[in-house]
Amino acid sequence: MARKNKDKDDGSKSIPTSRAARFARMARMAGGVAGGMLAEGSRQLRAGKRPSTRDMLLTPANARRVAEQLATMRGAAMKVGQILSMDTGEFLPRELADILARLRDDARYMPVQQLHAVMREAYGADWESLFYGFETRPLAAASIGQVHRTISPDGREIVLKVQYPGVADSIDSDVDNIASLLRISGLLPEGLDIQPLLDDAKCQLRDEADYFKEAEFLQAFGELLGDDDRFLLPQVLPELTRRNVLAMTYASGSPIDSITDLPQAERDRVMSALIELMLLELFELRMVQTDPNFANYQYRRKTGEIVLLDFGATRRFKASFVNNYKKLARAAIAGDRAKVAAAAERLGFSMGEKDTEYRELVLEVLMLVLEPLRDDVDYDFARSTMARDLSTLAEDVRGYRNFWRAPPIDAVYFHRKVAGMYLLATRLKARVNVHRLVMRWLD
C-alpha cells in the first residue's frame, strides 16, 4: 500500500532544520500577519469604522497564523511562546496571551522520513536492529521532542524521547527572531524589557536540549523519591541514551486530570502529594521541575501511584532566592504587608514607591497568589475565586505602564510551577491544607 502524505493525514509536519529555513518561517508569519492587518483594516473601513492598529493586529486569523507557525517550528520559538503566555500574562494584551496559550497544547510531530534520519544519526544506519516493534507514531509530542514506544535489546518495554532536528542549533536565533517579531509588531507593551528573561531562556533551553542533562535530573529525582511509594518515575537507560535521544523504561498511567471521578479523599491525597513535592523541590532540593503541563503527571488506578514524567525543564535555584521566598511566605502567613513588600523587593519584584496605588495593587496580587498557604485549613480550590480576582487585578496593573518591568527570572519559573499546580488542583476540585505542608520548611 502506498504511504499516505503524512503532513496532510495525521498531524505530522516537517520541521525546518536550518537557520535560513526557520528565519523564512518567521518572515512568512510576519508577512501573513501584515496581510491580515490590511484585510481587517479594509473590512472595518467598509463598515464605516476607523480601525485601530490593535484591532487590526489581534484578529482570530492572525492568532491562527502565529500559533500555527510557532507550533510547526517547535523548539525555542514554541517554548518562548509558552513561557510568555504563562509567566508574563499579566503584562500582555489578553488577546496575545490567548494566542500564545494555544502553544501549550499544540505540537506537531515529524514525518517518518525525518524521524528515521534522526535515529540513524543517533544509533547508526542499522538502528532498527537495536529495537523491537519501534512505534513510529509517537505517544506524545512537545516543543523539544517526541516520545516513541519500543522494546529494548534486553526485552524491556521502554520509550525513546527523540529530539526534533535543528532545534538545539537554532535556540539563539529562534529566541531573537520571535522577540523581534513581538516588538516590531507592537504585541509587546512599549517599554517592557523582557531581554533578561529571553537571555535566561536561551540558557535554560540549551540545557533542555541536552538529553544527557535531563537524564542526570531524572536519575537524581529517582534516587530522592525512590523510597516514596506515592511516586513512580521512569528509569534511565544510559547505554541507549544519546544527546538527542533519551532512553527510559516505560511508566504508564492514566492522565492525571482523569481522576475527577474518584472520591474526594483520593483527589485530595493526590493533589497534596504534588504540592508537597513542589515545596520539597524548592525549599529542600533547590531543584524544581518547572514545567507543570498536565501531560507530565499520570495516575495508576490500581496502585494510586503518581507517575512523574519529563524532567527537561528542571531548574536549580540559588539559596538566596529560596531564603527570600521563605521570608515572603512567612510574611504572607502573618498578614504583614510591609514585610511581604520587603521580601518581594529582595526577590527582584518592582513594587513602586511606598504608599502608592501601584504598590498596593502588586501587594494584592502577591497576597492572592499566596492565599492558599495563609490559614491552617483545607483550601478548597474548586470554590476559590483566586483566578478571577487575579485577572481583575491584572487589568488594573496594566494601567500603570510606567512601572512595568519583567518579573525576576527565578520567580517566573517557580510561579509557572505554582500556577500549574493551582490549575490542576482546581481541575480536580481538590482540598489541600497548603499551610500545614509549607510550615514544615518555615517553622
- Annotated catalytic residues are 291
CB 30: neighbour CB atoms within 10 A? 18
What is d(CA 13, CA 141) in angstroms, rounded to the nearest whole number? 12
Q: Which three cell numbers stand for residue 62?
A: 492572525
Amino acid at 402: N
CA angle 244, 246, 248 (to 5 degrees): 170
C-alpha dihedral sign at 123, 128, 132, 133: positive
Cβ contacts of 46 within 8 Å, gap of 6 or more: none
CB 367 within 8 A of CB 386: no
